[in-house]
Amino acid sequence: MIRPMLGEAWLAMGANRLRTALTMLGMVIGVGAVVIMMAIGQGAQYAVQQTISTMGSNLFIVLAGSFTTAGVRSGSAGGPTLTVADAEAIAELEGVVNVAPTHQGRRQLLYGSQNWNANVIGTTPPYLDARAWTIANGAAFGDSDVRSATRVALIGKTTAQNLFGDENPVGKTMRIQQNPFLVIGVLASKGQNLDGNDQDDTVIIPLTTAQRKVFGTPFLGAVRMIMVQADSAENMQRVMDNVESLLRQRHRLREGMPNDFFMRNLSAAAESEAETTRTMSILLGAIASISLLVGGIGIMNIMLVSVTERTREIGIRMAIGARQRDILTQFLLEAVMISFAGCLLGLLLGLIIALAINAITGMVIVISGGAALVAFAVAATVGIFFGWYPAQKAARLDPIEALRYQ
Amino acid sequence: MSEPVIRVVGLRKSYATAAGEFPALKGVDLAVRPGEYIAIMGPSGSGKSTFMNLLGCLDTPSAGDYFLAGENVAHLSPDALARLRNRTLGFVFQGFNLLPRMSLQDNVALPLVYAGVDKDTRRAAAQRMLEKVGLGRYAESLPSRISGGQQQRVAIARALVNKPQLILADEPTGNLDSHTSEEIMALFGELNAEGITIVLVTHEADVAAHAKRQVRFLDGEIVSDRLTAEIVEQHA
């Protein structure tokens, strides 16, 4: 039953090509708009995801608490409340992947006649894993360097360029506050973080070296900050809670006493940024689908005209035995075919324009099969929804009236 | 005698108009036996078209019973009526009513589409019918390429394709010249000779003269019902 009707729907579409083409145009523009908007929205989401992944995922930091001397409050991480032993204890917790006690600050660097101010981070090897940082050139320092406080450094791309120019920094000796450091590796570039800070303007040195030679420390083993990486986003909150209760226990804080440390979720900010782009891409899709709706109304309009024009044909078909549902199917099929053909062309058009946008502006676009599938489902729904009323009207015609129609 | 193909008992049909109920048919009784060839005559407004619409299952009566092939169809659902139009009846119209975008073969095969017959069988049956009316070689042509008389032959082929028990023809020669009309009436004569029951509506006496029995309508009632042979005798 459906097969001969498909052929007839094809004939009917071919009978007035210009009209069919114009009707389709509504769907072409609608689907095209949805495809382009989704490609751009998903592209923006992808770009944000990329930035987030350079920061390292599922990270939080524990900062040493503040302390007050003679009414002067120190600000966070001012007090000597966190120790390397705390970090070692946190590493034993379930769900913790990497733990890195760190101490950082800006310091002046010297090499030959050049000098440069960069962010100096004193830490342990797990820091590189937690931040998903790789070595582009040279090698990382190991636990033995931390134990013996060797004066070695890993430097970021920006630092390398400003201090060493075109020279290969690996094997060179630079100075941080009079202390010579051997550069053993250059870090792979990460670009900016979400705050716009250049993550490549960095020097990473062993924690112990940093404490003894660069920053100084109230007592050996005290750290200002511990970076912790959880194994998954779902476990994040649980791990944070466990760390909090562990530290309270280790610091012998009684019920009701405030924490002598702070905790901050680094991924939260990134997630809210991702949420914003997600909202934006949904909004873009919603606006684009309004044009799909308009396209659908165009189909309904033309199908109504078609039913009126073909009243006599409908009468003839009924006289020779077409049931109401046969007439309904025929007109519905026609509407769906127009809708589908329009959708296919729209998909193609959207794809071409999205690729053109990418080629011309360099904007990141992501074309997913899911978006195409959604567009198709919508086109079928639009065809059936807007084709239903005209088809119903055709099927309900009185055969005698229809046969008399001129 | 065999069971009638059509038996109509006290058939009434009235329409609501601005001036009140208008009775188009005021109680009609008629029986048509298999193999009969009947002409229904009468001036316009006599109720013959209303009667044909009821016979053709395009409409339902206000009162009375209509037995088609033994089944009372007076109050069937639209789908059941569509099935009867498809399988039991064959229509021939004054205006031919072929679908202009389809080839002649597809036109003839259309009732078989609605009967759910597969493609090869449809094509073969349609071709057989086209050959029967002498137009086998035009199978792939469009209706606009052939003459009015030929179009009416195609319409007859379409009416026959589903092997109906009855052919209903409404002014089948109304749009044709006298020579072509003769050809079409000859074709009806041949079909009747093969045993097909035919009911045709006409207002032309010489067309009615081809039928074996003539029924005359006036003001919604049958006023005469005689065999053509008797009428000829009377005039002789």
The CA-CA-CA angle for residues A231, A236, A241, to 5°, reads 125
The conformation of residue B34, written as its DSSP 8-state character, comes to T
Q: What is the pLDDT of residues A161-186, one digit of tens each?
A: 998 888 899 999 999 988 899 999 99
Tell me the sheet residues that pair with A179. A176
Task: Determine what percent of chain B is predicted with pLDDT higher than 70.
Answer: 99
| Burial tier of A211 (Cβ tally within 10 Å: 0-12, 13-18, 19+) | buried
For residue B199, what pLDDT is reported?
95
pTM over 0.80: no
Residue B236 or residue A135, greater confidence? A135
Q: What is the mean pLDDT of residues B151-165?
A: 93
Mean predicted lDDT score pLDDT of chain B: 90
Q: What is the pLDDT of residues B177-189, one digit of tens each?
A: 989 999 999 999 9
Quote the strand ranges of A129-200, DSSP E: 135-138, 152-155, 173-176, 179-187
Residue A76 or residue A128, greater confidence? A128
Strand (E) or helix (H) holding B120: helix B119-132
State how far residue A25 is from chain B, nearest Cα, in angstroms.
25
Determine the Cα–Cα distance for residues A138 and A171; give it in Å rounded to an integer: 9
How far is residue A192 from each of residues A109, A131, B56, B66, measured CA to CA in Å? 21, 13, 82, 88
CB pair distance less than 8 Å for B78 and A323: yes
For residue A318, what pLDDT is reported?
94
Q: Closest by alpha carbon to B102, among A12, A137, A70, A366? A: A12
Asked if pLDDT for residue B156 goes beyond 60, the answer is: yes
| All residues at 6 or more sequence positions from B234 whose CB lies less than 8 Å from its CB, including other chains | none
CB A311 within 8 A of CB A402: yes
Query: What's the pLDDT band for B236 if we cut at 50, 70, 90?
Result: low
Determine the Cα–Cα distance for residues A107 and A22; give it in Å rounded to an integer: 68
| Burial tier of A263 (Cβ tally within 10 Å: 0-12, 13-18, 19+) | middle
User: Is residue A11 less than 8 Å (CB to CB) from chain B?
Assistant: yes
Determine the Cα–Cα distance for residues A159 and B36; give it in Å rounded to an integer: 108
Strand (E) or helix (H) holding A339: helix A324-361
Determine the Cα–Cα distance for residues A353 and A350; give it in Å rounded to an integer: 5
| Burial tier of B81 (Cβ tally within 10 Å: 0-12, 13-18, 19+) | buried
Question: Which position has the token pair 């800070």?
Answer: A197
User: Is residue B116 less than 8 Å (CB to CB) from chain A?
Assistant: yes
Q: Give the least confident one: A209-213, B39-43, B64-68.
A: A209-213
Judging contacts by C-beta atoms under 8 Å, the chain A residues touching residue B114 are: 317, 320-323, 326
For residue A1, what pLDDT is reported?
62
Asked if pLDDT for residue B3 goes beyond 90, the answer is: no
Asked if pLDDT for residue B37 goes beyond 90, the answer is: yes
> Which tokens hold the place of A30?
């609608």
- The β-bridge relationship of strands A59-64 and A225-230 is antiparallel
Determine the Cα–Cα distance for residues A20 and A163; give it in Å rounded to an integer: 68
User: Is residue B164 less than 8 Å (CB to CB) from chain A?
Assistant: no
Helix intervals (H) in A63-173: 84-91, 126-130, 143-147, 157-164
Q: List B residues 56-85 in contact with A (Cβ-Cβ < 8 A).
A: 56, 58-59, 78-79, 82-83, 85
CB pair distance less than 8 Å for A399 and B58: yes
Q: What is the pLDDT of residues B82-102, one digit of tens each?
A: 999 999 999 999 888 999 989
Q: Closest by alpha carbon to B75, among B51, B52, B54? A: B54
> Which tokens hold the place of A309?
């024009």
Q: What is the pLDDT of residues B198-221, one digit of tens each?
A: 999 998 888 999 999 999 999 999
Asked if pLDDT for residue A71 goes beyond 70, the answer is: no
Q: What is the pLDDT of residues A190-244, one digit of tens each?
A: 877 766 778 889 999 999 898 888 887 767 778 888 999 988 888 888 999 999 9
